[in-house]
Amino acid sequence: MAKDHVQIFDTTLRDGEQVPGCKLNTEQKLIIAERLDVLGVDIIEAGFPVSSPGDFKSVEAIAKLVKNATVCGLTRSVENDIKVAAEALKYAKRPRIHTGIGTSDSHIQFKFNSNRDAIIERAVAAVKYAKGFVEDVEFYAEDAGRTDNEYLARVCEAVIKAGATVLNIPDTTGYCLPDEYGAKIKYLKENVAGIDKATLSCHCHNDLGLATANSIAGAINGARQIECTINGIGERAGNTSLEEVVMILKQHPNLNLDTGVNTKLLYSTSQMVQEHMGMFVQANKAVVGSNAFAHSSGIHQDGVIKNRETYEIMDPEDVGVTESAIVLTARSGRAALAYRAKNVGYELTKLELDALYPKFLEYADSKKEVVDEDIHIIMEQNNIKVN
Ligand code: KIV
Ligand code: ZN
């Protein structure tokens, strides 16, 4: 059975770039946008054009450059924002305007000092105005995660009637639990008239570490677009991580969902974004962290050397990492020592290995990690020659 396609909407250059200290210049944004296009994302959110002349210039340059993906610009439900975004996107092969407004009671009361009906009117007016510039209009119901489902369904119905092609349901504050977020998407699928004319989109933040789980719950319940960033960068604790959702869908074929992302480019893309943004991921980051395919305890190393699948559920080559790493530490066993020694030219006999192992442990106890250079030193100290 053919899999359903989940569109990958990358917002590294918009929500990701909002992070303090992560400023990119136009040239860097172009390099990343070109890479995202080659990576195979469906939509690139290039920026928030009205926010600054620099952002306008970047969105315009990205719109001219990108060959395959839809290029999207963010706006508030404000006519001038929409007009400026349309102008910035005018060279895009496939332009999209992403407009929206806060729909939770907290946003309606404190941000807008307004009421539910008036917010729907503003949402509808924004979508209709955007439709005057482009066919592809995405509407975001900001703080949808904390918006009452019945009211959210009314908002969605109204903006679909006004012409919205995509409905973004952001868990802006990263509050929802996966069951709750999945149920919200299901509720909208079942209760919004005209929902079949639009694509539901997940946009989850990671305040409680649930962004990826929530996005997957959304897709399981019928969302067909996931908004995410490379390395999960974004406001506060970040956004859903692109590499995580892509690999979850790949590693779980029973979900029957796929993406158009070339997974072999995930690691190098992650590295590229880290370097340009100066924001480095933690070693234990899923999929792209430096320890994601590294094994350091003796029991695990022994298993992986016998068969990689004993402790790895992904082939590192699938994400562009050349091989699993067997890290030598004082927790490593004989199998790991023999394996790493062999990699640098020493084929140890069982006798040699047994004699060497206690000396290796002594050496390893004084270091965090035993690297190739240390292996040569240990061998030299014990009169073992390359063979
Ligand atoms: O998190 C959010 O709600 C957003 C919207 C502006 C789409 O980033
Ligand atoms: Zn966001």
Which of 250, 277, 304 marks a domain boundary?
277
Residue 145 has pLDDT above 90, yes or no: yes
Judged by DSSP in three states, 95 sits in strand
- Ligand number nearest CA of 98 is 1
Quick one: pLDDT at residue 22? Answer: 80
Report the nearest-CA residue for atom 8 of ligand 1: 15
Q: Which residues pair with 326 in a beta bridge?
A: 295
**What band does 1 get if pLDDT is binned at 50, 70 and 90?**
confident
Is the C-beta atom of 139 inside 6 A of ligand 1? no
Is the C-beta atom of 15 inside 6 A of ligand 1? yes
Pair (31, 66) in one structural domain = yes
Q: Looking at the domain assignment, is residue 288 inside a domain? A: no
As a whole number of Å, the CA-based R_g of the chain is 25
Q: Looking at the domain assignment, is residue 243 inside a domain? A: yes
Is the C-beta atom of 16 inside 6 A of ligand 1? no
Quick one: pLDDT at residue 304? Answer: 96
Quick one: pLDDT at residue 19? Answer: 85
- Report the separation in Å between the CA atom of 73 and the middle of ligand 2, taken as the mean of its atom positions: 13
Report the nearest-CA residue for atom 5 of ligand 1: 142
What percentage of the chain carries pLDDT values higher than 90? 97
For residues 381 and 174, give the distance between their C-alpha atoms in angstroms, rounded to a whole number: 55
Pair (246, 352) in one structural domain = no
Pair (195, 338) in one structural domain = no
Residue 364 has pLDDT above 90, yes or no: yes
Is the C-beta atom of 170 inside 6 A of ligand 1? yes
- Report the separation in Å between the CA atom of 168 and the middle of ligand 1, taken as the mean of its atom positions: 9
Q: What is the mean pLDDT of the chain?
A: 97
- Report the separation in Å between the CA atom of 14 and the middle of ligand 1, taken as the mean of its atom positions: 10
Q: Looking at the domain assignment, is residue 266 inside a domain? A: yes
Instruction: CATH number of the domain at 265, please.
Output: 3.20.20.70
Residues with a beta carbon under 5 angstroms from ion ligand 2: 15
Is the C-beta atom of 215 inside 6 A of ligand 1? no
Q: Is 63 exposed, middle or buried (0-12, 13-18, 19+ CB in 10 A)?
A: buried
Pair (261, 375) in one structural domain = no
Quick one: pLDDT at residue 377? Answer: 97
For residues 75 and 199, give the distance between their C-alpha atoms in angstroms, rounded to a whole number: 19
Quick one: pLDDT at residue 212? Answer: 98
**What band does 387 get if pLDDT is binned at 50, 70 and 90?**
confident
* Residue of 240, 215, 218 lying closest to 229 (CA atoms): 240
Residues 34-58: what's their mean pLDDT?
Answer: 98
For residues 320 and 160, give the distance between their C-alpha atoms in angstroms, rounded to a whole number: 40
Quick one: pLDDT at residue 10? Answer: 98
- Report the separation in Å between the CA atom of 232 and the middle of ligand 2, taken as the mean of its atom positions: 11
Residue 183 has pLDDT above 90, yes or no: yes
Pair (128, 265) in one structural domain = yes
Residue 18 has pLDDT above 90, yes or no: no
Q: Looking at the domain assignment, is residue 307 inside a domain? A: yes
Mutate to test the pocket of ligand 1, among 99, 142, 167, 227 (most ligand atoms within 8 A of CB): 142
Produce one character per residue of 78-102: b if its CB has 16 or more CB atoms within 10 Å, e if not: eeebbbbbbebbeebebbbbbbbbb
Residue 20 has pLDDT above 90, yes or no: no
- Give the total number of structural domains in the chain: 2
Mutate to test the pocket of ligand 1, among 203, 204, 207 (most ligand atoms within 8 A of CB): 203
Quick one: pLDDT at residue 379? Answer: 97
Pair (78, 29) in one structural domain = yes
- Report the separation in Å between the CA atom of 172 and the middle of ligand 2, taken as the mean of its atom positions: 6
pLDDT in tens, 66-116: 999 999 999 999 999 999 999 999 999 999 999 999 999 999 999 999 999
Residue 148 has pLDDT above 90, yes or no: yes
Q: Looking at the domain assignment, is residue 351 inside a domain? A: yes
Pair (113, 254) in one structural domain = yes
Residues 190-203: what's their mean pLDDT?
Answer: 98
- Report the separation in Å between the CA atom of 156 and the middle of ligand 1, taken as the mean of its atom positions: 16
What percentage of the chain carries pLDDT values higher than 70? 100
Amino acid identity of residue 94, one-letter, is: R
Pair (175, 313) in one structural domain = no
Whole-model pTM? 0.95
For residues 290 and 287, give the distance between their C-alpha atoms in angstroms, rounded to a whole number: 9
Which of 214, 243, 277 marks a domain boundary?
277
**To the nearest 10°, the Cα dihedral for 30, 36, 40, 44?**
-80
Which of 277, 310, 341 marks a domain boundary?
277
Record the tokens describing residue 164, joined without a space: 């919205």
Record the tokens describing residue 235, joined without a space: 């406001």
Pair (30, 98) in one structural domain = yes
Is the C-beta atom of 203 inside 6 A of ligand 1? yes
Report in angstroms the alpha-carbon separations of 211 from 17, 22, 38, 97, 306. Answer: 18, 20, 25, 24, 35
Ligand 1 atom at minimum distance from 15 CA: 8
Q: Which domain holds residue 318?
A: 294-381
Q: Looking at the domain assignment, is residue 125 inside a domain? A: yes
Is the C-beta atom of 142 inside 6 A of ligand 1? yes
Produce one character per residue of 350-383: b if its CB has 16 or more CB atoms within 10 Å, e if not: eebbeebbeebbebbeeeeebeeebbbebbeeee
Pair (224, 344) in one structural domain = no
For residues 279 and 271, give the distance between their C-alpha atoms in angstroms, rounded to a whole number: 10
**What band does 271 get if pLDDT is binned at 50, 70 and 90?**
very high
Backbone phi and psi for residue 72, each to the nearest 5 degrees, phi listed first: -125, 145
Pair (299, 202) in one structural domain = no
Quick one: pLDDT at residue 123? Answer: 98
Pair (257, 307) in one structural domain = no
Report the nearest-CA residue for atom 1 of ligand 1: 172
- Ligand number nearest CA of 168 is 1
Quick one: pLDDT at residue 369? Answer: 94
Residue 21 has pLDDT above 90, yes or no: no
Q: Looking at the domain assignment, is residue 386 inside a domain? A: no
Amino acid identity of residue 204, one-letter, is: C
For residues 352 and 350, give the distance between their C-alpha atoms in angstroms, rounded to a whole number: 5
Q: Looking at the domain assignment, is residue 216 inside a domain? A: yes
- Ligand number nearest CA of 147 is 1
